């Protein structure tokens, strides 16, 4: 298991060195659009997954190999929900040795827990998922653990904001197969306005999702949602993502393990892999061989080909 991966180009965080601190796939949600696949272990119980020393060692080895490459953030982004890791604070403390800002991308479902809140206060940047504040849509899109209560989560997010001194951003996924009422859109936008994050990102699924019927929204849905967000939250605070993130992946000489590490959490476009291999004068045969050996799987989504590590949640 390679814990540190990348850096990968992030539309929110620049060049992000990923930290995959959760095994596949422990999560409190089973989101329709998850690119890692279906949740195998739906839980809200925090536990010890990896030794913090092993996480530090994996990040250090990656940074040492990158030599002069710029890294904008060390980012906890996992096969599951990163705040399920009970050692978060200890890991952040150890990673401070690298003098690189530390971020976490969380589904925000456990923020009502006092220990999770205290752990997240240690990060330089926190990204909260807020797909909807409407309970019916929340249940449909995020398919939460039975013990979770949306109002407690939203209250926890607001409570965290009052104490947090770092950069706070939010992400709201817009799907093409969900019926968004104007009332639900307004309700979510008003919550985000009150939260006052540095930026509210609207996202669309650009990679293969856990459910095959999930598609990007048609322009009409975005034209319905974006003006409401702009008007309520402020045009300068809202940004629409859903674009191709680019080719700026960084691979070491251990190409095969790097691709497996990235694609365990981040399906990669065929054209991107070809470009990266061409730069190294490496044949695409290496990818075909990994597929034949059962290390990678080939996925088609929205007219494009993607490759992903063969993991249980994708079977």
Closest CA to 252 of 22, 69, 1, 53: 69
Q: Write the pLDDT tens digit of every residue in 67-93.
A: 778 899 999 998 899 999 999 999 999
Per the CB < 8 A criterion, the answer to whether 265 and 208 are in contact is: no
What pLDDT, on a 0 to 100 scale, did the predictor assign at position 263? 79
Mean pLDDT for 12-29 is 91
Instruction: Give the separation between CA 283 and CA 190, rounded to whole angstroms.
Output: 51
Per the CB < 8 A criterion, the answer to whether 259 and 284 are in contact is: no
Kindly give, in sequence order, each residue whose CB lies less than 8 Å from that of residue 217, ignoring residues fewer than 6 positions away. Answer: 174, 175, 176, 204
Q: What is the mean pLDDT of the chain?
A: 89
Closest CA to 181 of 149, 228, 237: 228
pLDDT band at 297 (very low <50, low <70, confident <90, very high): confident
Per the CB < 8 A criterion, the answer to whether 174 and 225 are in contact is: yes
Cis peptide before 193 (omega within 30 of 0): no
What pLDDT, on a 0 to 100 scale, did the predictor assign at position 269? 81
Domains of the chain: 4-314 (3.20.20.70)
pLDDT cut 70: percent of the chain above it: 95
Instruction: Give the separation between CA 38 and CA 35, rounded to whole angstroms.
Output: 9
pTM as predicted: 0.83
What pLDDT, on a 0 to 100 scale, did the predictor assign at position 53? 96
Q: What is the largest CA-CA distance in the chain?
A: 54
């Amino acid at each position: 298991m390679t814990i540190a991966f990348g850096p990968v180009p992030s539309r929110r965080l620049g060049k992000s060195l990923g930290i995959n601190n959760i095994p596949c796939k422990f999560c409190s949600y089973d989101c329709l659009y998850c690119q890692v696949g279906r949740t195998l272990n739906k839980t809200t119980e925090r536990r010890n997954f990896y030794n913090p020393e092993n996480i530090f060692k994996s990040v250090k080895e990656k940074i040492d190999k990158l030599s002069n490459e710029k890294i904008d953030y060390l980012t906890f982004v996992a096969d599951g929900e990163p705040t399920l890791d009970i050692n978060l604070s200890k890991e952040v403390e150890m990673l401070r040795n690298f003098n690189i800002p530390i971020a976490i991308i969380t589904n925000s479902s456990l923020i009502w827990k006092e220990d999770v809140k205290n752990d997240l206060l240690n990060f330089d940047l926190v990204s909260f998922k807020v797909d909807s504040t409407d309970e019916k849509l929340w249940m449909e899109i995020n398919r939460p653990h039975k013990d979770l209560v949306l109002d407690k989560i939203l209250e926890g997010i607001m409570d965290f904001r009052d104490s947090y001194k770092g950069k706070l951003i939010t992400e709201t996924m817009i799907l093409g197969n969900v019926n968004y009422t104007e009332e639900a859109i307004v309700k979510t936008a008003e919550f985000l306005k009150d939260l006052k994050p540095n930026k509210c990102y609207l996202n669309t699924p650009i990679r293969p999702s856990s459910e095959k019927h999930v598609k990007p929204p048609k322009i009409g849905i975005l034209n319905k949602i974006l003006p409401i967000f702009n008007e309520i939250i402020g045009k300068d605070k809202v940004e629409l993502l859903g674009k191709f993130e680019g080719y700026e992946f960084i691979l070491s000489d251990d190409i095969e393990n790097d691709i497996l590490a990235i694609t365990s959490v981040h399906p990669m476009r065929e054209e991107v892999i070809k470009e990266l291999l061409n730069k190294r004068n490496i044949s695409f045969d290496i990818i075909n061989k990994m597929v034949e050996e059962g290390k990678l799987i080939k996925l088609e989504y929205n007219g494009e080909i993607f490759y992903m590590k063969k993991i249980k949640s994708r079977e």
